[in-house]
Amino acid sequence: MATEIDALIEAIRFDIDTALYIIYIIILAYIAIHLVSFLIRKIGETAGFMRIAANMIIPLFKIAVYFIATYLIVTSVFTPSLSQLVAFSGLFGAALGFGLKDVFSDIVGGIVIAFERPYLIGDKIKIGDKYGEVTDIGLRATRIKTPDDTLVSIPNFSIFNQSASSANAGKTEMMVVTDLFIDSRSDIEKAAGILRECLITSKYIYISSSNRYTVLVDDFPFYRRLRAKAYVNDLRDEFEFKSDITRRTWTEFDKNGIISPAFSGIVIGDGPGFADR
């Protein structure tokens, strides 16, 4: 084994030309990745509801470029024989054991994400306690933008030990659940009808044969819950959609005497029905 390692070290040729060649490859790979990612994102933004599908290519392209660049760099330094390759694997394994384990796990995680696609660039995902839109899937980490505009890097290895949930699964539309709570004595039929109409007339809604909407009513000891489930046209408008439904529904509730729940004689809200109680 020691002889093989010696032979491997002897086979390594490293001069100034090789160094320049490696730098050249790294720069080229960097430019290619960033340029192509930028172009795909730009084209994706103009593709409307096909935006996320267009972005799907980015991680695959990145992995392909990384592998080609690595291959070119390795073969520029030495051309290993089979026995040298075995020796190199041994060294590589030792390196992993000493400190590169996490990096390697992240890279494997990145490859799994690129090919298995549990989520895509543009998806709204939740990993652990982090929720946001995926802005980039790198070889080592996935970056997500949270609703309050914070960029969070999540190591790709996380997909092996944490559940990753994607709210839209590669599509631009996404289900949004909006809850409204009303007083038990309010007219529930009227309230559900108002919520339904506010839902279907929202400018953000998307309805199709496979993307239905529903209004559910649930009764609790001190109040009733109205739950609207519908798809927002573009997941980026998730919170605007929710706000639009809530705002317009409560405006109509106020006009129709439907009031907020009361707790221990205290009425929350000040709808027209308040004075009648």
Footprint of other proteins (CB under 8 A): 47-49, 172-173, 194, 197-198, 200-201, 203, 206-209, 233-234, 237, 248-249, 252
Tell me how far apart the alpha carbons of residues 56 and 40 are, in angstroms, rounded to a whole number: 9
Q: Are 230 and 205 in contact (CB under 8 A)?
A: yes
Q: Least CB distance from residue 89 to other proteins, whole Å?
A: 50
Tell me how far apart the alpha carbons of residues 252 and 2 are, in angstroms, rounded to a whole number: 82
Q: Least CB distance from residue 229 to other proteins, whole Å?
A: 15
Q: In this complex, which beta carbon is closest to other proteins, that of residue 29 or of residue 245? A: 245
Q: Are 140 and 104 in contact (CB under 8 A)?
A: no
Q: Least CB distance from residue 214 to other proteins, whole Å?
A: 12
Q: Least CB distance from residue 149 to other proteins, whole Å?
A: 19
Dihedral, 148, 149, 154, 158 alpha carbons, nearest 10: 40
Closest CA to 151 of 141, 166, 160: 141
Q: In this complex, which beta carbon is closest to other proteins, that of residue 13 or of residue 212? A: 212
Tell me how far apart the alpha carbons of residues 44 and 39 are, in angstroms, rounded to a whole number: 8
Q: Least CB distance from residue 264 to other proteins, whole Å?
A: 32
Q: Least CB distance from residue 240 to other proteins, whole Å?
A: 9
Q: In this complex, which beta carbon is closest to other proteins, that of residue 3 or of residue 208? A: 208
**First and final C-alpha spacing in the chain:** 90
- Those residues with Cβ within 8 angstroms of residue 196's Cβ, 6 or more apart along the chain or in another chain: 215, 228
Q: In this complex, which beta carbon is closest to other proteins, that of residue 136 or of residue 238? A: 238
Q: In this complex, which beta carbon is closest to other proteins, that of residue 4 or of residue 234? A: 234
Q: In this complex, which beta carbon is closest to other proteins, that of residue 106 or of residue 244? A: 244
At residue 131, the 3 state secondary structure works out as strand
Q: Least CB distance from residue 114 to other proteins, whole Å?
A: 27
Q: In this complex, which beta carbon is closest to other proteins, that of residue 130 or of residue 248? A: 248
Tokens 């949270």 label which residue? 146
Q: In this complex, which beta carbon is closest to other proteins, that of residue 187 or of residue 252? A: 252
Closest CA to 63 of 106, 126, 16, 98: 106
Tell me how far apart the alpha carbons of residues 140 and 223 are, in angstroms, rounded to a whole number: 48
Burial pattern 88-107, b for ≥16 Cβ within 10 A else e, equals beeeeeeeeeeeeeeeebbb
Q: Least CB distance from residue 197 to other proteins, whole Å?
A: 4
Bridge-based pairing of strands 224-232 and 205-206 is antiparallel
